[in-house]
Amino acid sequence: MNSILFDAQERWNKNLRGIRKERGLNQEDLAALMREQGFTTCTQKSISRWEQVGRKPGYAFPSYDKMVGLAKCLQVDVPYLTGDMGGRTYDEQYIADSIGTDPGVVALIKELEQYASEKIDYEDDGEPENITLYHNADELALFILDFVGSEFISKYRDFVAAWMNITPQDDTPKARSEEARYRKYLKAAKFELVDSFQAALRRQYPDPDFDAFLTEKGLECKRNEELQLQQDEEKLRKKIWKKLLEQGGTDSNQDKMRQISSALQLLVDASAKVSNYREERIEALRLRIAARARAAQGLS
């Protein structure tokens, strides 16, 4: 019975202190939030005692109404603080159960919700037609499955398994060997997890092509430049082939081959110059766009 109580106390202490720090609050900050909730006698010392339940005589669990107040201030639910639920909120736990994964996955993906909180459908002309907000547990669960997929969830489980898989040893040499094994497998699992997550990010948020950085006027400018380059290339090809035809009737076959090779080299060099010219024009266009953006920011 004492061991069960001790475990409950340790879970409470760890979770309360951990989530307070994660929220960026010191003990006085949390006490102030509690006072705003109506617990007028709450002080920094109250929070300190509640984070050390069982450590000293009189350091007892807060009453249930104060537990509810703490949970509200820290944006979690009471069972998370007591260690009876892995998810920080009932919604988080529900989502984790729905998709068969650890609540930590849900917590991680919810951090991205601010970047993907809107699902926008576009009409043919590119204007937003309607916006659907992800605002409840079922929709977020579906979003997570669509966003990360089963591969990421599998990699996350592998990482957690590697992180937890420590076998204590009876002597220091074996312990060092065990530590080396642990760190090796954890590093590999972490790499696989991060790589899988980055792949999910790339799928969900692909890099825009260059056209995305152009206005309609900029796109028209780009089309005109490409058309001019094509025309220049065509003129150059005609000039080279005309030269080949003019020289073809007077020289030996060996000389013809040499002249063709020389002419083709001219074509290669000219193509390189055209390519460089295109890149220079694109870079110049980028600089003009950036300058306009800076000027617009200066006026706003």
Query: Tokens standing for 229?
Result: 């380059």
Superfamily in which the 2-82 domain is placed by CATH: lambda repressor-like DNA-binding domains (1.10.260.40)
127 pLDDT above the threshold of 80 = no
| 8 A C-beta contact, residue 32 and residue 42 | no
List, in sequence order, every residue forming a beta bridge with 131; answer none if it has no partner: 120
124 pLDDT above the threshold of 60 = no
152 pLDDT above the threshold of 90 = no
**Please, how many CA atoms are within 13 Å of residue 270, restricted to the half-sphere of its CB?**
17
Confidence of residue 122 (pLDDT cuts 50, 70, 90): very low
224-233 LR contacts (CB < 8 Å, sep 24+): 225/278, 225/281, 226/278, 229/274, 229/277, 229/278, 232/274, 233/270, 233/271, 233/274
Average pLDDT score over the chain: 76
What pLDDT score was predicted for residue 126?
Answer: 46
Instruction: Give me the residue label for tokens 């979003």.
Output: 143
